[in-house]
Structure 1
Amino acid sequence: MELTLLGTGAPGGLPRPDCPCAACATAVGAAARAATALLIDDALLLDLTPGPALAAARAGRTLAGVRQVLLSHPHNGPAVEVPPGLPAPGRAADGRELALLSGHRVRAIALDAPGTGYEVTGPDGERLLYLPPDAAPAGLADPVPARPGRPYDMVLLDVLGRPDALARLRAAGLVAPTTDVLAVHIDHTVPPGPELHRRLAAAGARTVADGRTLVVGEYHAVPDLPRRTLVLGGARSGKSLEAERRLAAFPEVLYVATGGRRAGDPEWAARVAAHRERRPGSWRTAETCDLEPLLADEGPPLLVDCLSLWLTDAMDTVGAWEDERWTDGGEHALRERMAALVAAVRATRRPLVAVSNEVGSGVVPATASGRRFRDELGRLNAAVAAECEHVLLVVAGQPLTLR
């Protein structure tokens, strides 16, 4: 089954007309995207967008053999002209199955947002799932109990806009490591340039330019998901949000909060509440600084936020803040704890995203204990980074890839 992407952008296209934003300004050439529309084996057209015949011609295809045109989402713009000879577009009722003369079978999928998803099975049994913008299949509860299902060969959806949809499909066994996950409906809310591809790769997905023809079920290089990632950044840099974004498309993440609880501190309580509200409901939370057992266990991905608070707890435990205790065995005890944590990071078999503060870029702490913390955190960050496949530095909300 061949799939030609006549467009991969949001319904308004990319760039949007008369929009001065940075994403639209840089969406030129191959980065420009027409509204998403899929041509399957020259026989089935999913979504009718402006200029479909011209888009097909640019891709080296023709619409002459199209026997069915199905719409997936409400169209709020001006009426789209139907090219001569093309069947009138329509929408299938949820749950309805269509059998085409070309040998394709189409099943309409109910969604949790306005519109309809389509499951398409090719003549040789390959399966793809196509979801409209800002939608996920209905009936996939959050969280979803693990249950085996036959994975799709290809899934096309709004990966960055609805990462939870991808997480639910994974939990239901419908997206496997071999599933080709393609991001479509790409809008100007996503970062331009290489950052788009980096974020998609972190979710186990990819995107291609308009006009590409792909073979459903054909082997390709699936994005290599790192087992260990360290995200560094200063205060309010966006490092925690970046770390959460890297796991948003995966179910059953264990969020490890190393800060503990601070009774009677309303500001701290507000910070914790803000973090909790933006995390997916399927994630679990553990408040602990005992990281080695978690890293040694099998289980879902870990998000540790953050190593600087872990170090604070470790220095409290060994009395590293006091000069006398520091010189009388405190330094040695702290280094042993740090070495044990780094060894656990090195040996872990579960995906890990760890967050830490980047310090010591100019301001020298006024106290000896402050300088000691700065130095030890720098050592800890360097040691953990050495064991991670990916290392990011977040500055003003912009992630910079260090490794």
Structure 2
Amino acid sequence: MELTLLGTGAPEGLPRPGCPCASCATAVGDQARAATALFVDGVLLLDLTPGAALAAARAHRTLSGVRQVLLSHPHDGPAVEVPAGLPSPGRVPDGRELALLGGHRVRAVAVDSPGTGYAVTGPGGEQLLYLPPGAGPAGPAGPPEGRPPYDMALLDVLGRPDALARLRAAGAVTATTDVIGVHVDHGVPPGPELRRRLASAGARTVPDGTTLLVGEYHAVPDLPRRTLVLGGARSGKSVEAERRLEAFPDVLYVATGGTRDGDRDWADRVALHRERRPASWRTAETCDLEPLLAGAGPPLLIDCLSLWLTDAMDTAGAWDDERWAGGGPERALRDRTEALAQAFRATRRTVVAVSNEVGSGVVPATASGRRFRDALGRLNAAVAAECEQVLLTVAGQAVPLRG
């Protein structure tokens, strides 16, 4: 089954008309995207958008053989002109299946926002899923019983990562599914940052006019098994770490900070983190990381290593100057750091860990503060050495240091 993407952008396109934002300002040339429309095997058009005939011509295709035009979502604004010879656009009722001449079958998939998703099965049995912008599956997310996972899924990966997580949890999308991000809007700068965000979700995007073969093997972007996200205070490091796993179900969020009775500011910070997490994630509050890293199970998000170090220094008595001078706490702290680094090396789980990057500003006024700064620098270096990918977040921007 051959699929040509006449557009891959949000309904208003990219750049949005009249929008002054930085993403729209840089969405020029091959980074510009028309509203998403799919042209399947020359006979089926999913979503009729302005300039569809011209977009097809630029992709060296013609709409003259189209037998069915289906809309996936309400099209706001002026009515889109239907090119001469094209059937009138329509929709398939949820759950109903439409058979086309040539052997294609189109099943309407209910979604959780206004619109309709479509599962298209080609004459050879290949399957693709297309969801409208801002939509996820409503009800059972998997294909009908007895049907294999989708060969290709096209959806709003960046706007609805939870929809992709649900499809994965239901077995509708697996490691062999080619996940294509469409309905691309101006929330993410085009170019390298867009590709990085999609790759972290195990997805990719292609330029307008690209033709793909559904069912053809394509290397699916792999999430690095071990990732360390560094950054200063309020740099966006936790958001970046959460973003890297939000398209995956059954994540275990490991909170190393514990609780602090009577500390309202700390309680507010914890509440903010909890509100951001997908409902399907579980939480464990512990600093005992080695058993989690050694065990099997879903991906881990550890937030954060600097709080783990605080607990380790408490246990070792490393804050006390006199005890530190005796050498025992220093040895104990180095042993704990080495053990954690070894656990990162040996783990088979997917792990995203967060840590603070300190030491670039004011020198701590106390000896214990300087000990913490130095110990955290050593801990970050030791864990980073065991990670396939290391990121530094600065002003909300993730800068790859490795991977």
The equivalent of 2:102 in structure 1 is 102
In structure 2, what is the Cα distance between the partners aligned to 1:149 and 1:230?
Answer: 38
Q: Deviations over 1:60-113 (max 9, x none)?
A: 101011000000000111100000000000011100100000210000000111
Please point out which of 272, 278, 294 is paired with 1:274.
272
The equivalent of 1:246 in structure 2 is 244
The equivalent of 1:191 in structure 2 is 189
The equivalent of 1:76 in structure 2 is 76
In structure 1, what is the Cα distance between the partners aligned to 2:355 and 2:380?
Answer: 7
Q: Which runs of 4+ in 1 moved over 4 A?
A: none
Aligned-pair CA distance for 1:150? 2.1
The equivalent of 2:261 in structure 1 is 263
Matched position secondary structure for 1:383: helix
The equivalent of 1:37 in structure 2 is 37
In structure 1, what is the Cα distance between the partners aligned to 2:2 and 2:184?
Answer: 21
CA 1:286–1:233 in structure 2 vs 1: closer, same or farther (change >3 Å)? same
The equivalent of 1:9 in structure 2 is 9
Letter in 1 for 2:236: G
Aligned-pair CA distance for 1:148? 9.6
The equivalent of 1:315 in structure 2 is 313
The equivalent of 2:156 in structure 1 is 158
Matched position secondary structure for 2:279: coil
Letter in 2 for 1:187: D
- The answer to whether the 8 A contact 1:8-1:185 is kept is yes
How many aligned residue pairs are there?
399
Following superposition of structure 1 onto structure 2, how do residues 206-245 of structure 1 map, counting pairs within 5 Å? 206-245=204-243
The equivalent of 1:340 in structure 2 is 339
Pairwise CA RMSD = 1.2
Letter in 1 for 2:93: A
The equivalent of 1:402 in structure 2 is 401
Q: Structure 1 length as normaliser, TM-score?
A: 0.98
Letter in 1 for 2:36: T
Q: Structure 2 length as normaliser, TM-score?
A: 0.98
- The answer to whether the 8 A contact 1:154-1:182 is kept is yes
The equivalent of 2:290 in structure 1 is 292
Letter in 2 for 1:276: R
Instruction: State whether structure 2 residue 164 is matched by structure 1 residue 129.
Output: no
The equivalent of 1:27 in structure 2 is 27
Aligned-pair CA distance for 1:326? 1.6
Q: Deviations over 1:27-81 (max 9, x none)?
A: 0111000000000000000000001110000001010110000000001111000
Letter in 1 for 2:20: P
Letter in 2 for 1:171: A
Letter in 2 for 1:392: L
Letter in 1 for 2:171: G
In structure 2, what is the Cα distance between the partners aligned to 1:310 and 1:36?
Answer: 45
| Residue identity (%) | 80
- The answer to whether the 8 A contact 1:149-1:173 is kept is no
Q: Return 5+ residue gaps in structure 1 as ranges.
A: none
Q: Return 5+ residue gaps in structure 2 as ranges.
A: none
- The answer to whether the 8 A contact 1:48-1:89 is kept is yes
The equivalent of 1:331 in structure 2 is 330
In structure 1, what is the Cα distance between the partners aligned to 2:268 and 2:139?
Answer: 33
Instruction: State whether structure 2 residue 299 is matched by structure 1 residue 301.
Output: yes
Q: Deviations over 1:316-364 (max 9, x none)?
A: 0000111222232110011111111000001110100000000000310
In structure 1, what is the Cα distance between the partners aligned to 2:83 and 2:325?
Answer: 82
Matched position secondary structure for 2:244: helix
In structure 2, what is the Cα distance between the partners aligned to 1:383 and 1:287?
Answer: 23
- The answer to whether the 8 A contact 1:129-1:156 is kept is yes
Matched position secondary structure for 1:247: coil
In structure 1, what is the Cα distance between the partners aligned to 2:355 and 2:276?
Answer: 19
In structure 2, what is the Cα distance between the partners aligned to 1:39 and 1:148?
Answer: 27
- The answer to whether the 8 A contact 1:49-1:80 is kept is yes
- The answer to whether the 8 A contact 1:148-1:172 is kept is no
In structure 2, what is the Cα distance between the partners aligned to 1:52 and 1:229?
Answer: 42
Q: Deviations over 1:210-233 (max 9, x none)?
A: 000000010112112200000000
In structure 1, what is the Cα distance between the partners aligned to 2:166 and 2:350?
Answer: 18
In structure 2, what is the Cα distance between the partners aligned to 1:98 and 1:140?
Answer: 20
The equivalent of 2:166 in structure 1 is 168
- The answer to whether the 8 A contact 2:26-2:189 is kept is no
Aligned-pair CA distance for 1:151? 1.0
Aligned-pair CA distance for 1:375? 0.3
Letter in 1 for 2:365: A
- The answer to whether the 8 A contact 1:256-1:305 is kept is yes
- The answer to whether the 8 A contact 1:149-1:174 is kept is no
Letter in 1 for 2:181: A
In structure 2, what is the Cα distance between the partners aligned to 1:401 and 1:252?
Answer: 26
In structure 1, what is the Cα distance between the partners aligned to 2:267 and 2:242?
Answer: 19
- The answer to whether the 8 A contact 1:38-1:45 is kept is yes
